[in-house]
Amino acid sequence: MTDGPSSIGDILSTLDDLAKDDDRVSLGDVIEAFGNRSFGPFLLLPALIDISPVGSIPGLPSLLAVVISLVAVQLALGRRHLWLPEFLKRRSIGSDKVRKAVNKAHKPAAWADRWFHGRLPALTHGPFPRIAAVACIILALTVPPLELLPLATTAPMAAIATFGLALMVRDGLVVIVALALAVGAVAVGIGLAVSKL
C-alpha cells in the first residue's frame, strides 16, 4: 500500500486538480488519480464527504457506507489492489461542490498533516490494518439506520475517517484514537436507537 496520497494535503490537491478538469468528479476518476492500492484514502475520503455539508444529501451517507464497506472488505481479505463496481465508479459530484469542500478543508488538513505521521508504526502493519478494516465494516453497517436521524452518521464516519488517516500516514497513535472513536460511535448509535424505541 505504498501508492497514492500520503497526506490529507495530497488528497485535497488531487481532488482540486480533478475538479478543475471537468464539470463533475466521478469516483472512478478519483481511483485512477489515487492509485488502485490506496485503501487508506478510500476509507478517509467517503467519510469526510459524509461529515461535510455535502453529506446531508438524502441517501448519500448510505451510498458512502457501501463504498466504505467494499473497500474495507477488500482490505480485511488482504487484497493488494482496490476494486469497485462500474456503477459506483460512475457516481459523481459536481466540481463546484468538490472545490468548496476542498477549500474548507485546507486549514484543518495542514494542521493534521503537521501532527499525524509515523508514530507507533507497528500498529499500522501486520494484522492491524485488517482489524481496522473489520472495525470500519461494523461502523459502516450502522450508517443506514442512523441516516434517519439528523447528523447521527457523523460519529461512525469520524471514526472511519480516523482509521483511513491512520493507515494512510502510518501513525499507530491515530489507530488507537480511531479505536476509541469507534467504541464511542457504537455507544452513541446504541443510545440513539434506544432513545427512539
Inside any domain, residue 146: yes
Inside any domain, residue 3: no
pLDDT for res 197: 58
Q: Roughly what angle, to the nearest 10 degrees, separates helices 154-169 and 128-146?
A: 160
CA 76 to chain centre: 15
Inside any domain, residue 49: yes
Q: pTM value?
A: 0.78
Inside any domain, residue 1: no
pLDDT in single tens digits along all 197 residues of the chain:
445 676 788 888 888 999 988 899 998 888 888 876 678 888 988 898 888 877 777 888 899 999 999 999 999 998 888 888 898 888 888 899 888 888 888 887 888 788 777 788 778 888 899 999 999 999 999 898 888 777 788 899 999 999 998 888 888 888 999 999 999 888 877 777 677 65
Inside any domain, residue 67: yes
Inside any domain, residue 174: yes
pLDDT for res 8: 80
Contact 170, 117 (CB under 8 A): yes
Inside any domain, residue 126: yes
Structural domain for 57, as ranges: 8-196
Inside any domain, residue 131: yes
Structural domain count of the chain: 1
Cell of 121: 508504526
pLDDT for res 1: 41
